[in-house]
Structures are given as C-alpha cells and as structure tokens.
Amino acid sequence: MNWDTVKGDWKQFKGKVKQKWGKLTDDDLDVIEGKRDELSGRLQERYGYAKDKAEKEIDSFCEKC
C-alpha cells in the first residue's frame, strides 16, 4: 500500500497509527491529517528517531497495512 491510500483514508488509519505509535496523541493525529512529512516529524519528536529511521518506520507501516 502506498501513502496516498493512507492519506485518502486517514480517518480509518488513525487507529492503526495510534496502535503502532502509542506516544502520538489525538492532537498529533489531527495535525498530521495524513501528511507523511508531519508524521515523520512527530515520530522524530516523540520517539527521538532520526529522519531516516522515521521514514523507514513509515514505509514498514505502509507495507503491513
């Protein structure tokens, strides 16, 4: 699955994102609104990921959905 699908169905995927990355708040998810760069930034902020690690985590998430 690609990110465009996640973005298009963001309301459906919010729960899955919250399960995967529990440190993200509901407010974070509202701000992200399906924007990949926002998710990447929030993962870096909340989990201390480097940008490359955050991108790999997002790619892995997309493959499993």
Domain tally for the chain? 1
- Name every residue whose Cβ is closer than 8 Å to that of residue 43 and which is 6 or more positions away in sequence: 21, 24, 49, 54, 57, 58
pLDDT tens-digit readout, 15-62: 999 999 999 999 999 999 999 999 999 999 999 999 999 999 999 998
Residue 39: give its domain's CATH number: 1.10.1470.10
Is the pTM higher than 0.75? yes
Give the pLDDT of residue 4.
85
Domain that holds residue 36: 3-64
Give the pLDDT of residue 20.
95
The larger pLDDT score, comparing residue 50 to residue 3, is at 50
| pLDDT over 80 at 13, yes or no | yes
**For residue 41, with 0-12 CB atoms within 10 Å meaning exposed, 13-18 middle and 19 or more buried, which class applies?**
middle
| pLDDT over 90 at 5, yes or no | no
